[in-house]
Structure 1
Amino acid sequence: MTKARIFKPSKNAMQSGQATSQDWHLTFEPVSARKIDPLMGHMSSADTRQQINLSFPTKEAAIAYAERENIDYLVMKPKERKRNVKAYSDNFSTTRVEGNWTH
């Protein structure tokens, strides 16, 4: 039976927005190892399921799809981001901690 993992991708490090990290994704685990093609030298595999990446609006929708299609799945919980909310004026506060440098 095929195995898949259901996860919520992390935010792109090059962008500040989180538009692409809202959906849940279902990807299949590789069945066979990749091999080097002797003619071109590229990595290749006979397993075409590695190319499939399904996206779902909710985790429950992804789980329902996997159960309906008899796919063994593993749900990976996303790491919650800790937001450090502060105002620009906090940079000029009189109670601000300066840092480790000496004057």
Structure 2
Amino acid sequence: MSKNKKIGVPFPVEESITYADDSVVSQTLLNKDTGTITLFAFDEGQGLSEHTAPFDAVVHILDGQARISIGGDSHTVDKGEMIIMPANIPHALQAEQRFKMLLTMIRGE
């Protein structure tokens, strides 16, 4: 758990991370053997190149809009929307405009 977040205490998710020019900012909120919850803020033009992960991941867009490709299919994901990225399928994220997301990764079979 991040040192400035306490389990059992409400906090404003979207305001908990800020954009940085020409950067991707991340903040881990929870890191357990069973999975992680991480906040990200992507500046326009930033992204994560195509990669795979051995477990499922849920992306919830908190602000802005993301371009997310999964297995070669490209999706525009807007504020308030979620997308599930399945384990072992190549995926990538691109900020055509700034966006913030909450990433929940669930480790398992």
State the TM-score bracket (shorter-chain normalisation). Answer: under 0.3
More strand as a share of residues: 2
Task: Decide which structure has the larger Cα Rg and report it.
Answer: 1
Query: What TM-score, normalized to structure 1?
Result: 0.23
TM norm structure 2: 0.22
More helix by share: 1
